[in-house]
Amino acid sequence: MTAKPLGVRVRKGATTFSFLAPALIGIAVFFLYPLGSAVYFSFTKFDLLSVPEWVGLDNYRRMADDPFLLQSVRNTLWMVVVFVPVRIIGAVGLSMLLTQLKRGAGFFRTVFYLPALVPPVAATIAFVYLLKPGTGPVNHFLESIGIQGPLWFNSPTWAKPSLVLLGLWAIGDLMVIFLAAVLGVPASLYEAAELDGANAWQRFRSITLPTIQPVVLFAAVTGVIYTLQYFDQAAVAGSIASGQATVGGGISSNFGFPEGSTFTYPLWLYTVGFRYSALGYANALAIGLFVVALGVTLILLRRAKAFTGEES
């Protein structure tokens, strides 16, 4: 390529900048500025009332031997490893099913989306009641077909899978995204593949999946970020299943019920920051979370590039 004259380059740069200007301002004001404050606070002892006191790396050293941190990290990792792929597979499967329906497609789209509209707190409460081990309708139903239902939110082994189930039920958001992506795949590609005698699975593997790959990457990255910040459902499910909070009441002190099995990293961050008022340490925890999320995202993006040769 020959070098373009300066005037053209400047004009091109100005056009590009005009597309990006609002986002750049947004990033500076609503991200870089608060991030800077968070980093600063993470080096201090700070309780919101008195002036922050500089303590250097103390908060970060404290993270090294914090048993609650270790437990919450384990639970959060479990959620990331199980929840993120299950959610993506479920949402892709559901959107593919929807494109197949000849009758009532609009109706089913709405039905599958419905749970995503229930506020998370209300949805969690409904789920805990439906899955009550002794009296809940789900275990009643399982019993009637001869299956001994698990203890769900009251069992340390089943509590996290129950949360995954709750998340799957509210999968509508992701389903909508994949539906829009799948419907955007050019029909000519399928026609060509059919002429070559590709069966349904082959067409999905070699046309649908590669075309929607950028959207799958989106789902993976946002899924990881979402799971790392997973809070509401874990907090509400734990406190209601433990019987400490009455229905609709606030969050009990029983985070992570039963036996700490639903105690996630954000729950610990919240406890430290807003119950112990140790905002310095909470900010150190948040920066740690941020760094881990960034690392995972970088790995995902790099792999995706290697796989698809996405233009860089």
Partner 1 sequence: MTALMEAPVLAPAPPDRRYARQRRLAWIGKHSIAIVLGIMFVTPVVYLVLLSLMTSDQALTSDYWPNAWHPENYVRVFEVTPLPRYLLNTIIYAVSSTVLVLLSSVPAAYALAKLRFRGRNGLFLLVICVMMLPPQVVTVPLYLMWARYGLTGSLAPLIIPAIFGDAFCIFLLRQFLLTIPSEYLDAARVDGCGEWRTLLRVVLPMARPGIAAAGLFQFFYCWNDYYGPLLYTSENESSWTLSLGLASFHSVHHVDWNLVTAATVLAMAPLIIIFFFAQRAFVQGITLTGFKG
Q: For residues 271-310, which are near partner 1 according to CB under 8 A?
A: 273-274, 279, 282-283, 286, 289-290, 293-294, 297-298, 301, 310
Residue 70 or 122 having the CB closest to partner 1: 122
The CB-of-144 to partner 1 minimum distance in angstroms stands at 15
Binding residues among 44-83 for partner 1 as defined by CB under 8 A: 48
Q: What does the per-residue mask of binding to partner 1 show for 110-149, with x meaning CB under 8 A?
A: xxxxxxxxxx--xx--xx-xx-x--xxx------------
CA 4 to chain centre: 44
The CB-of-59 to partner 1 minimum distance in angstroms stands at 13
∠ at Cα 232 (227, 238), nearest 5°?
A: 105
Residue 5 or 102 having the CB closest to partner 1: 102
The CB-of-255 to partner 1 minimum distance in angstroms stands at 15
Hey, how many other C-beta atoms are within 10 angstroms of the C-beta on 1? 3
Binding residues among 181-220 for partner 1 as defined by CB under 8 A: 181-188, 190-191, 193-194, 200-201, 203-204, 207-208, 211-212, 214-215, 217-218
Tell me the residue length of the chain: 312
Binding residues among 143-182 for partner 1 as defined by CB under 8 A: 169, 173, 176-177, 179-182
Distance CA 68, CA 108 (A): 43
The CB-of-3 to partner 1 minimum distance in angstroms stands at 15
Candidates 79-87, 142-150, 156-164, 248-256; binding stretch for partner 1 (CB under 8 A):
248-256
- Interface with partner 1 (CB under 8 A), residue total 115
Q: Which residues pair with 44 in a beta bridge?
A: 54
Half-sphere exposure for 212 (CA within 13 Å, toward CB): 24
* CA distances (Å), origin 222, targets 88, 103, 228, 244: 11, 32, 10, 33
> For residues 259, 263, 269 and 270, what is the CA-based torsion angle, rounded to 10 degrees?
-90
Six token digits for residue 304? 């995706």
Candidates 19-27, 62-70, 151-159, 236-244; binding stretch for partner 1 (CB under 8 A):
19-27
Q: Does residue 127 contact residue 163 with C-beta atoms inside 8 Å?
A: no
Residue 70 or 114 having the CB closest to partner 1: 114
> For residues 138, 143, 147 and 151, what is the CA-based torsion angle, rounded to 10 degrees?
50
The CB-of-8 to partner 1 minimum distance in angstroms stands at 12
Among 33, 54, 276, 307, binds partner 1 (CB under 8 A): 33
Q: Does residue 284 contact residue 42 with C-beta atoms inside 8 Å?
A: yes
Among 2, 102, 145, 306, binds partner 1 (CB under 8 A): 102
* CA distances (Å), origin 230, targets 79, 143, 178, 265: 9, 32, 22, 8
Residue 71 or 208 having the CB closest to partner 1: 208
CA 118 to chain centre: 17
248 binds partner 1 (CB under 8 A): yes
Q: Which residues pair with 45 in a beta bridge?
A: 53
Q: What does the per-residue mask of binding to partner 1 show for 221-240, with x meaning CB under 8 A?
A: xx--x--xx-----------
The CB-of-294 to partner 1 minimum distance in angstroms stands at 6
Q: Is 243 left (phi over 0), alpha (psi -120 to 50) or beta?
A: left
Q: Do the bridges between strand 44-45 and strand 53-54 make them parallel or antiparallel, or are there none, so unpaired?
A: antiparallel
Residue 54 or 243 having the CB closest to partner 1: 243
